[in-house]
């Protein structure tokens, strides 16, 4: 199991050091600094073995988090734990920075004590932790016995993510379907790979212990229902036709009953209070690609490049895409750039070796174009320019995978509010993931 956990700043100075096991000596802290943080070459693996001690590290801005072990631990678990640790710290004091860590070191030690025991990760749900690890150290005296046992049963219990007795005057919930479209396209416009990775984020303000059921236009579910109610053919065919989507795979927050999903493909759960990520999913079929990039690069002699890029928006004309940014890489030996664009603003950024073209808004089924002349310094470098792909960023108000929320039902048998009383909001946002076109 995890033998120790260190947090370093960018210089390699130790900010936090917590050793759980005896086999981790004091020199382990230095070994990591010397061999990884101060290493001459770029680190080639997130797992490093130094003198039979294994170091797992992740980096958040310029802070290094490293877990150490001498045993054959579950590597995936260690990384998951490190990410979780970051989440917990962010939830407690915001951005992970040197200053924040120094200001909260007592809290961090307290957290490390609680979520990792002898190197075994324990309950790490922020909601539960916040009930008994607070930044005001007075809470313990005021707790009644009931409160205490409530805390412990929540931390260890089946529903570790929600406490009992939550009350709201207005029962409300927000559903965000956040998708990122990833694309890799050849210069000829052939899709090399495309997938959508999506998340359903739910923010709930519901009283009691509500039982929720979530439904979407998942092909498997709709086909199943179509078979079950054959008499409603007209309606269900409409539903299963173009409207349903094939989900390649999905993963759920731990509150979702996985065995029920496996057998009935229904998503039922008791949500944590506040915001959480209900599910993640991935689709590869029938993706709506919001933009198409058509590049044209011509090398005119050894010292000049001509670049023309056309972008086409490919969605309903009534919808508006926002925050559009096209990044056209330029060679390292660029001396000057002239740009002409029909819409938006374009600038050559020498520090980033790219032309950045920004458009605030663009409606569907439109087209826009940029052309640039790049002047190059003559070099005697034999190596050709690697031509990195043109990348794009944008935000669209629909789900490129075609996913639709069909329902989210709430049942709370003990309290007197019904599904109709809950105010529900649904929002779809499609963003660009890695959206690249080779040129």
Partner 1 sequence: MQTDNLELKKLVYLYLMNYAKSQPDMAIMAVNTFVKDCEDPNPLIRALAVRTMGCIRVDKITEYLCEPLRKCLKDEDPYVRKTAAVCVAKLHDINAQLVEDQGFLDTLKDLISDSNPMVVANAVAALSEIAESHPSSNLLDLNPQSINKLLTALNECTEWGQIFILDCLANYMPKDDREAQSICERVTPRLSHANSAVVLSAVKVLMKFMEMLSKDLDYYGTLLKKLAPPLVTLLSAEPELQYVALRNINLIVQKRPEILKHEMKVFFVKYNDPIYVKLEKLDIMIRLASQANIAQVLAELKEYATEVDVDFVRKAVRAIGRCAIKVEQSAERCVSTLLDLIQTKVNYVVQEAIVVIKDIFRKYPNKYESVIATLCENLDSLDEPEARAAMIWIVGEYAERIDNADELLESFLEGFHDESTQVQLQLLTAIVKLFLKKPTETQELVQQVLSLATQDSDNPDLRDRGYIYWRLLSTDPVAAKEVVLAEKPLISEETDLIEPTLLDELICHIGTLASVYHKPPGAFVEGGRGVVHKSLPPRTGSSESAESPDTAPAGVPAADQPSVIPTQGDLLGDLLNLDLGPPVSGPPVATSSVQMGAVDLLGGGLDSLMGDESEGLRSDVGGSPAMGGGSGGFAPAPGTAVPSNTGAPLGSGLGDLFDLTGGVGTLSGSYVAPKTVWLPAMKAKGLEISGTFSRQVGSISMDLVLTNKALQVMSDFAIQFNRNSFGLAPAAPLQVHAPLAPNQSVEISLPLNTVGSVMKMDPLNNLQVAVKNNIDVFYFSTLYPLHILFVEDGKMERQMFLATWKDIPNENETQFQIKDCSLNADSVSSKLQGSNIFTIAKRNVEGQDMLYQSLKLTNGIWVLAELRIQPSNPSFTDLELSLKCRAPEVSQYVYQAYETILKN
Which residues in 31-70 contact partner 1 (CB under 8 A)? 42, 44-47, 49, 52, 54, 56-58, 69-70
For the chain, the first-to-last Cα distance in angstroms comes to 47
With binding defined as CB under 8 A, does residue 384 bind partner 1? Answer: yes
Nearer to partner 1, 196 or 362 (CB): 196
The closest alpha carbon to 372, from 330, 343, 344, belongs to: 330
Q: How many CB atoms lie within 10 A of CB 118?
A: 10
**Any contact of residue 157 with partner 1 (CB under 8 A)?**
yes
* 168 sits near partner 1 (criterion: CB under 8 A): no
Residue 96 parent element (H or E):
none
Shortest gap between Cβ of 282 and partner 1 (angstroms)? 6
25 binds partner 1 (CB under 8 A): no
Nearer to partner 1, 117 or 306 (CB): 117
Cα distance between residue 66 and residue 60, in whole Å: 11
**8 Å CB contact between 68 and 6:** yes
Q: Decide if residue 146 touches partner 1 (CB under 8 A).
A: no
Does residue number 75 form part of the binding site for partner 1 (CB under 8 A)? yes
* Site for partner 1 contains 380 (CB under 8 A): no
**CA-CA distances (angstroms) from residue 428 to 132, 398, 403?**
36, 5, 9
Tell me the two tokens of residue 106. 């007592």
Q: How far is the CB of 400 from partner 1 (least distance, A)?
A: 15
Q: Which of 27, 103, 156, 243 binds partner 1 (CB under 8 A)?
A: 156
Asked if residue 205 binds partner 1 (CB under 8 A), the reply is no
Least Cβ distance, residue 146 to partner 1 (angstroms): 12
Q: Does 345 appear as a known binding residue?
A: yes
For partner 1, what does the binding mask look like between residues 255 and 284, x meaning CB under 8 A?
--xxx-xx--------------x-xx-x--
Helix axes 75-93, 105-115, angle to 10 degrees: 140
Residues 105-144 that bind partner 1 (CB under 8 A): 106, 109-110, 113, 117-118, 120-125, 132, 137-141, 143
Smaller CB separation from partner 1, 316 or 387:
387
Is 349 within any annotated ligand binding site?
yes
Bridge partners (DSSP) of residue 48 are: 55
Which CB sits closer to partner 1, 128 or 396? 128
DSSP 388: P
* Locus of tokens 């005057």: 169
Q: Are 313 and 321 in contact (CB under 8 A)?
A: yes
Q: Rounded to the nearest whole angstrom, what is the least distance from the CB of residue 408 to partner 1 in the complex? A: 19
**Is residue 150 near partner 1 by the rule CB under 8 A?**
no
**For 234, left (φ over 0), alpha (ψ -120 to 50), or beta?**
alpha
d(CA 414, CA 325): 51
Torsion angles phi and psi, residue 300, rounded to 5: -105, 100
Q: Is 358 annotated as a binding residue?
A: yes
Rounded Cα–Cα distance for residues 393 and 326 (Å): 6
Site membership for partner 1, residue 300 (CB under 8 A): no
Annotated binding site: 345, 347, 349, 358, 360
């Amino acid at each position: 199991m995890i033998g120790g956990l260190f947090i370093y700043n960018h210089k390699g100075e130790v900010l936090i050091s917590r050793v759980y096991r005896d086999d981790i000596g004091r020199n382990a802290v230095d070994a990591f600094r010397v061999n990884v943080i101060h290493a001459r070459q770029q680190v080639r693996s997130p797992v490093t073995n130094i003198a039979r001690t294994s170091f797992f590290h992740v980096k958040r801005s310029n802070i290094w988090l490293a877990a150490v072990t001498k045993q054959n631990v579950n590597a995936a678990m260690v990384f998951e734990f490190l990410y979780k640790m970051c989440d917990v710290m962010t939830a407690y004091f915001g951005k992970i920075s040197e200053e924040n860590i120094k200001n909260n070191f007592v809290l961090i030690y307290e957290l490390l004590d609680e979520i990792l025991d002898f190197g075994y990760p324990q309950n790490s749900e922020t909601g539960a932790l916040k009930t008994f690890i607070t930044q005001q150290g007075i809470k313990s005296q005021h707790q009644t016995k009931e409160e205490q046992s409530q805390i412990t049963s929540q931390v260890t219990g089946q529903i570790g993510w929600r406490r009992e007795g939550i009350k709201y005057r207005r029962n409300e919930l927000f559903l965000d379907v956040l998708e990122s479209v990833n694309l890799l396209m050849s210069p000829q416009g052939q899709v090399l790979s495309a997938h959508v990775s999506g998340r359903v984020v739910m923010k709930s303000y519901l009283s009691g212990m509500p039982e929720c059921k979530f439904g979407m236009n998942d092909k498997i579910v709709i086909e199943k229902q179509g078979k079950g109610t054959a008499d409603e053919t007209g309606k269900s065919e409409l539903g299963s036709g173009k409207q349903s989507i094939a989900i390649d795979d999905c993963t759920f927050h731990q509150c979702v009953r996985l065995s029920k999903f496996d057998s009935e493909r229904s998503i039922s759960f008791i949500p944590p209070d506040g915001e959480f990520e209900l599910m993640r999913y991935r689709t590869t079929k029938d993706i709506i690609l919001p933009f198409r990039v058509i590049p044209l690069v011509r090398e005119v002699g050894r010292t000049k490049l001509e670049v023309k890029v056309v972008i086409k928006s490919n969605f309903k004309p009534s919808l508006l895409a926002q925050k559009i940014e096209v990044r056209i890489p330029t060679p390292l030996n660029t001396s000057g750039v002239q740009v002409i664009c029909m819409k938006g603003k374009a600038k050559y950024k020498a520090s980033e070796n790219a032309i950045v073209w920004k458009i605030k808004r663009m409606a569907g089924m439109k087209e826009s174009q940029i052309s640039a002349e790049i002047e190059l310094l003559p070099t005697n470098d034999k190596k050709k320019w690697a031509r990195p792909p043109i990348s794009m960023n944008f935000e669209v108000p629909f789900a490129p995978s075609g996913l639709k929320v069909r329902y989210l039902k709430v049942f709370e048998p003990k309290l007197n509010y019904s599904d109709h009383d809950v105010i529900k909001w649904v929002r779809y946002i499609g963003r660009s993931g890695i959206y690249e076109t080779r040129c």
